[in-house]
A and B are shown apart, each in its own frame.
Chain A
Amino acid sequence: MKKSTRKSLPILIVATIIAFLFLLPLVWMVFTSFKTLSESMASSSILPSAWTMENYLSVFSSVSEAPILRWLFNTAFITAVGTVLVVIVDILAAYSLARLKVPGKKMIMGMVFAALAIPGIVTLFPAFYMFKTAGLLDTYVPLILPYTASTMGVFLMYNFLISFPKDLEEAAYIDGATQWQILYHVIFPSIKPVAMTLGVITFLGIYNDFLWPSLVTNSNDMKTITLGIATLIQGANFVNPAKMMASTVIATIPAIIVFLIANKYIVKSVTNTGIK
């Protein structure tokens, strides 16, 4: 039963109006970043009457109050190392739990489920205090390592491996492959879509995290771009929407690009989190 385009015209119109409302804040953000300060505060028009690059130039030149390139570098480093680390650690753990009958499996799985049920706020401030006591505040360590404790990835890949046939692995074993070769040549290729999914969610999670980085960083030079935007909201750019939007455009573009490229993996992840 194929619906004709005419029959679906009303729903298309409704969807287009909603899409317009959804895009309005983003479109406004982009255009406002090209407005002059006075126009950005007084105008009701969404398009700038006179386009200016001044906001971007001043965002990149005010290095002492807002070292935005440094924030982007920090974010790139933290998200890259954090995401790769989480994905590798979780693949190894899920493989061991799902296939290798690791001793203490029941206890580990029990912990994984317990962690999913206990709200994150409970561990937040003690974790901060741990890093403070260890003298690691304002370093990359607390900005990367704690994300590896997330159990969501293990859960995701464990579920995938449990429902994935073992035949290929067994065939490789009979042919004399070592455990490492099986992992590298058989498991990695087949688990790749789930690993991509986990990678995208982890990337966005680390990139967009606000509360945790705000606890464990002090100096301007150690901030992520997400935290940097918060600093600007509460400080220098507070009275200047045009400049604020220029920095916000710079902060959101990397995440939006990753989102659009990896869209299909995120869609899959929503299905794969195990709820039916």
Chain B
Amino acid sequence: MFFRMEVKMYKGASHKIWSILMVSPFVVFFLLFWALPLGLGVWISLHNWNVSSGNLGFVSLENYKSILTPGTLYYDLFMKGLKNTLYFVVISVPPLVLISLGLALVIDNLPKRFKPIYRTIFFISYSISVTAVSAIFLWLFNGNGGYFNNVLESIGIIREPINWLGEQPYAWLTILITTVWWTIGFNMMLFINALDEVDVALYEAADLDGAGAFSKFISVTWPQIRNVAFFIIIMTVIASFNLYGQTKLITGGGPEQSTNSLIMNIQTSVFGMNQLGIGSAMAIIMGLIMMVIIVFQYWLSYRNKE
């Protein structure tokens, strides 16, 4: 019989001190810059709190009440932002998920030596900031002197320039195209990794059965990437909910405030109206709505599995 020597390196008093020393920088930073702001946010949301003059007194749940009471200024601000943001979630999540899956399938079917180059090209926009992306698409779509209008006019598709940024539905379409170009590579990478894990033997079996490309996808590929797909949908919903930079910089919230996102309106209540208490309450309600949606989606995916 072989007796393994007991290694004591993970025990003892000196190691306890080491372990505390090593973990404490992270714990301190985490408490200071995450837990403390979280608690402070809840605290502030229960007060009439100005950015400039600070705490003006405890108001209990009044801030939440006025955000959720129809007809008040803050209700309008919050609900308009929420409505616009939900609209964007609805129009953006299907293309962001389906097109990225399509791209991943294209990459998956390429000959091996071509895969890295195309994968890099489809993924490159991930490295670019939302401000640079906005600068580019602002001028691609600009109604006055924008590149797309110039091209469309020169090949005779349109006579008058289209007011992409100042008219609906063009404004949402611009924001949507920008977002797809900017963020789709990340979803695609997740799908590519999921497709890499699909058991090749199952494809060969399906080939022997004479299955076509579509029926192979439905019966072999989809069941094996379904969990990743659900994860991608949840990630994409969260990302679309956080819509901010594109609408702030490209459309400026217009036309007629129709692209003002929820985060933009929360920012307005904090800085434009000086109401940090109201803004904190709005942020907490927004966070709760997102968490409810995420939990609901998890519940859906688990229910479907059974």
Binding site for B on A (CB under 8 A): 1, 3, 5, 8, 11-12, 14-15, 18-19, 22-23, 25-26, 28-29, 32, 40-44, 89-90, 92-93, 95-97, 99-103, 108, 111, 115, 117-127, 129-130, 132, 145-146, 148-149, 151, 154, 169-170, 173-174, 179, 182, 204, 207-211, 226-227, 229-230, 232-234, 241, 244-245, 247-248, 251-252, 255-256, 258-260, 263, 266-267, 270-271, 275-276
Contact = CB atoms under 8 A, between A and B. Distances in A.
Contacts of B7: 170, 173-174
Q: Chain B contact residues: over half helix, strand or loop, or mixed?
A: helix
A258 to B, nearest CB: 7
Given A8-B109, A270-B190, A252 B26 contact: no
Given A244-B135, A252-B132, 6 more contacts: A101-B19, A121-B286, A123-B37, A148-B26, A149-B30, A248-B136
Nearest to B279: A125
Contact of A125 (B29, B122, B270): B270
Interface string B239-252: 00110110011000
Given A44-B153, A100-B10, A22 B120 contact: no
Contact of A207 (B23, B124, B129, B138): B129
A179 B18 CA distance: 8
A252 B145 contact: no
A96 B287 CA distance: 31
A93 B24 CA distance: 7
A115 B30 contact: yes
A122 B283 contact: yes
Given A118-B38, A149-B33, A101 B120 contact: no
A217 to B, nearest CB: 14
B131 A229 contact: yes
Nearest to A204: B127
Given A130-B40, A154-B26, A230-B131, A111 B35 contact: yes
Name the residue among B38, B186, B286 with the largest chain A CB count within 10 angstroms: B38
Interface string B156-178: 00000000000000000000000
Interface stretch (B57-65, B90-98, B110-118, B215-223): B110-118
A26 B9 CA distance: 54
Interface residues of B, number: 97
Interface of B: 5, 7, 9-11, 14-16, 18-20, 22-23, 25-27, 29-30, 32-38, 40-41, 44, 51, 103, 106-107, 109-111, 114, 118-132, 134-140, 142, 144-145, 147, 150-151, 153-155, 181, 186, 189-190, 193, 197, 204, 227-228, 231, 238, 241-242, 244-245, 248-249, 263, 266, 270, 276, 279-280, 283-284, 286-287, 290-291, 294
Contacts of B140: 25, 28
A148 B106 contact: no
B129 A102 contact: no
Given A28-B140, A97-B23, A119-B287, A41 B145 contact: yes
A133 B139 CA distance: 39
B10 A101 contact: yes
A146 B38 CA distance: 13
A107 to B, nearest CB: 10
Given A126-B40, A170-B9, A232-B135, A18 B127 contact: no
A101 B9 CA distance: 11
Contacts of B197: 276
Name the residue among A8, A126, A232 with the largest chain B CB count within 10 angstroms: A126
Contacts of B227: 276
B263 to A, nearest CB: 6
B285 to A, nearest CB: 10
A230 B190 CA distance: 30
Given A93-B22, A270-B186, A256 B127 contact: yes
B33 A119 contact: no
B136 A25 contact: yes
A169 B9 contact: yes
A51 to B, nearest CB: 18
A258 B127 contact: yes
A96 B27 CA distance: 12
Nearest to A209: B129
B139 A259 contact: no
The 6 closest A-B pairs by CB, nearest first: A41-B145, A100-B19, A259-B127, A93-B26, A149-B33, A208-B129
